[in-house]
């Protein structure tokens, strides 16, 4: 049957519109199905209707839970010189009931308890003698230590404790004062005193943070990341540079204002375009992001395949089923990461050449399979006339273009598989913005970033945080090892 030209044209137009609507519906359903386990969305965005419990990207290793064979456990151990000794004596023999004396003791068993003293605050009175000169009769008072100006004031360590509570767990000023009263018995502490203490300490740590940044410049491997940060009612950007031993925070007005002073080595990041403009460094991409995207692609295609099977859409079934490259790529990344971890635990610094070649071959095969499949698919134009690629196609192109950066952890064991060092460094700073309140000035935000840089670095290097916060900043510049 030959249809009139206008009817045939109308049917063809409706078919194209139907295909476009199907593609749009699939994309919208894919977006609705994304959560923190299948994208870079934070867990807080999952809401109360979380579809599942938090699931780690790590696969089962087959080993039993708990400490593994050969693992050196950690436990509380006795110390050689306790602060206080309490002797316990027996008065009668438990066998015959005869009296016992101290001279009969032939041994001693030691047990120790670690606890807080009943009174945590120690009050020191400084007495400055006043002299009367025998020659002229003039009076002279002995000098008090620097900083001791009032008749009664808090010392450096208790101020450092308040700064720690406010800056590390990010407890607001009023609750910091309440915690100090509950823990230390400092009931006269005002919440208004906590803020200036924190600000003065943060300002004093600016040179120390600059020194940390200078040491990060020449580090072998650095992890980079950024996140939005509210300052003075406007969105600023908090950038971080992190290694196993150093952490630096920096406030900037632009997201693309990435640190350009880095020289040599490798930078690990999530693929943000501005990081690609860093010259003189090698790049490594965060594979935790890739695993989440591949997981989302696999889950969405499985759902589409099941629906296509039930409704007997042969064309849609073929289209959904052919995204098999995603499962192969995800399996490759997980196995490669496990192989590197096992080799590192054995003390090796590189994979066997044959194993390394096999992993590269599997990666290239998965990418070729995916690219060949997407070349056959029809493309749908957007309202702007551009050809819109599917999410799987965009991921494929990225993995193919930056395949050396994706697999750099295979050939360089110093390069981590994910970018967790930088991402974890930013999580608590988001708590600062959401719970403890945003910064009111750019200067205050920069000082707080410096304070957090010092605290994070001190924690990584196992320094005593109270000692660091109460120390003279000039002595800390050389305290942190590179």
Per-residue pLDDT of 229-273, as tens digits, reads 888 888 999 999 999 999 999 999 999 999 999 989 999 999 999
320 found inside a domain: yes
CATH (domain of 243): 3.30.420
* Maximum mean pLDDT: which of 47-61, 67-81, 212-226, 467-481: 212-226
| 282 lies in the same domain as 423 | yes
| 322 lies in the same domain as 464 | no
58 found inside a domain: no
Residue 225 near residue 240, CB atoms below 8 Å? yes
* Maximum mean pLDDT: which of 18-27, 281-290, 309-318, 379-388: 281-290
pLDDT tens per residue, range 77-86: 899 999 999 9
Q: How far apart are CA 196 and CA 176, in angstroms?
A: 13
| 296 lies in the same domain as 397 | yes
| 408 lies in the same domain as 313 | yes
pLDDT band at 305 (very low <50, low <70, confident <90, very high): very low
The Cβ of residue 81 has, within 10 Å, a number of other Cβ atoms equal to 5
247 found inside a domain: yes
The residue assigned the tokens 């969405």 is 300
| 319 lies in the same domain as 379 | yes
The Cβ of residue 42 has, within 10 Å, a number of other Cβ atoms equal to 11
Q: How far apart are CA 369 and CA 79, in angstroms?
A: 62
pLDDT band at 185 (very low <50, low <70, confident <90, very high): confident
447-456 mean pLDDT: 94
Q: How far apart are CA 121 and CA 140, in angstroms?
A: 32
65 found inside a domain: no
| 320 lies in the same domain as 407 | yes
Q: How far is CA 103 from the centre of its chain?
A: 60
Q: How far apart are CA 283 and CA 402, in angstroms?
A: 9
Domain stop point among 368, 390, 418: 418
Residue 247 near residue 453, CB atoms below 8 Å? yes
pTM for the predicted model, two decimal places: 0.78
| 299 lies in the same domain as 402 | yes
182 found inside a domain: no
Number of domains the chain contains: 2
| 309 lies in the same domain as 280 | no
Specify the pLDDT at position 373.
85
The Cβ of residue 131 has, within 10 Å, a number of other Cβ atoms equal to 10
pLDDT band at 352 (very low <50, low <70, confident <90, very high): very high
pLDDT tens per residue, range 86-133: 999 999 998 998 999 888 989 999 999 998 888 888 899 999 999 998
pLDDT band at 310 (very low <50, low <70, confident <90, very high): very low
Structural domain that includes position 248 = 201-286+419-476
| 210 lies in the same domain as 277 | yes
Residues in the chain, how many?
482
80 found inside a domain: no
| 222 lies in the same domain as 251 | yes
| 406 lies in the same domain as 314 | yes
463 found inside a domain: yes
The sign one gets for the Cα dihedral 369, 370, 371, 372 is: positive
Domain stop point among 382, 399, 418: 418
357 found inside a domain: yes
Long-range residue pairs from 333-339, CB within 8 A, at least 24 positions apart, any chain: 333/287, 333/290, 333/291, 333/294, 334/59, 334/291, 335/359, 336/407, 336/409, 336/410, 337/287, 337/409, 337/417, 338/59, 338/61
| 328 lies in the same domain as 412 | yes
Q: How far apart are the first and last CA of the chain?
A: 81
Q: How far apart are CA 463 and CA 461, in angstroms?
A: 6
pLDDT tens per residue, range 15-30: 878 877 776 776 677 6
Domain stop point among 398, 418, 438: 418
């Amino acid at each position: 049957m030959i249809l009139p030209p206008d009817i045939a044209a109308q049917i063809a137009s409706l078919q194209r519109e139907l295909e476009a609507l199907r593609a749009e519906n699939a994309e919208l359903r894919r977006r609705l199905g994304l959560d923190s386990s299948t994208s870079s969305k934070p867990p807080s965005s999952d809401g109360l209707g979380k579809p599942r419990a938090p699931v780690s990207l790590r696969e089962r290793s087959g080993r039993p839970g708990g400490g593994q064979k050969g693992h050196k456990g950690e436990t509380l151990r006795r110390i050689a010189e306790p602060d206080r000794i309490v002797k316990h004596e027996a008065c009668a023999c438990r066998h015959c009931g005869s009296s016992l004396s101290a001279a009969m003791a032939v041994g001693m068993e030691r047990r120790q308890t670690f606890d807080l003293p009943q009174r945590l605050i120690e009050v020191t009175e400084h007495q400055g003698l006043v002299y009367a000169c025998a020659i002229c009769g003039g009076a002279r008072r002995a000098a008090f230590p620097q900083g001791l100006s009032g008749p009664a004031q808090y010392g450096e360590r208790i101020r450092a404790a308040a700064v720690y509570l406010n800056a590390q767990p990010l407890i607001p000023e009023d609750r910091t004062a309440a915690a100090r009263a509950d823990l230390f018995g400092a009931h006269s502490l005002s919440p208004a005193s906590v803020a200036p203490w924190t600000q003065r300490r943060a300002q004093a740590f600016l040179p120390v943070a600059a020194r940390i940044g200078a040491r990060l410049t020449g580090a072998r491997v650095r992890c980079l990341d950024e996140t939005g940060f509210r300052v003075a009612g406007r969105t600023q950007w908090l950038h971080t540079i992190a290694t196993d031993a150093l952490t630096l925070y920096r406030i900037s007005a632009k997201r693309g204002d990435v640190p350009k002073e880095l020289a040599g080595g490798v930078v690990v990041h999530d693929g943000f375009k501005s990081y690609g403009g860093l010259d003189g460094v090698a790049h490594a991409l965060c594979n935790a992001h890739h695993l989440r995207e591949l997981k989302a692609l696999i889950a969405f295609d499985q759902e589409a395949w099941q629906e296509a099977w039930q409704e007997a859409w042969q064309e849609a079934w073929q289209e959904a089923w052919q995204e098999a490259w995603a499962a192969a790529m995800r399996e490759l990344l997980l196995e490669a990461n496990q192989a590197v971890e096992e080799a590192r635990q054995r003390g090796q610094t590189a994979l066997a050449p044959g194993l390394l070649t096999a992993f590269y071959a599997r990666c290239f095969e998965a990418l070729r399979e995916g690219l060949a499949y997407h070349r056959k698919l029809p493309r749908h134009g957007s309202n702007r006339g551009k050809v819109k690629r599917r999410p799987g196609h965009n991921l494929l192109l990225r993995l193919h273009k930056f395949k050396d950066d994706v697999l750099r952890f295979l050939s360089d064991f110093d390069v981590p598989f994910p970018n967790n060092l930088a991402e974890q460094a930013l999580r608590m700073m988001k708590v600062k913005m959401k719970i403890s309140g945003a910064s009111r000035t750019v200067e205050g935000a920069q000082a707080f970033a410096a304070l957090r840089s010092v605290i994070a670095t001190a924690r990584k290097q196992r320094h005593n945080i109270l000692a660091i916060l109460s120390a003279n900043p000039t002595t800390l510049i050389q305290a942190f090892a590179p």
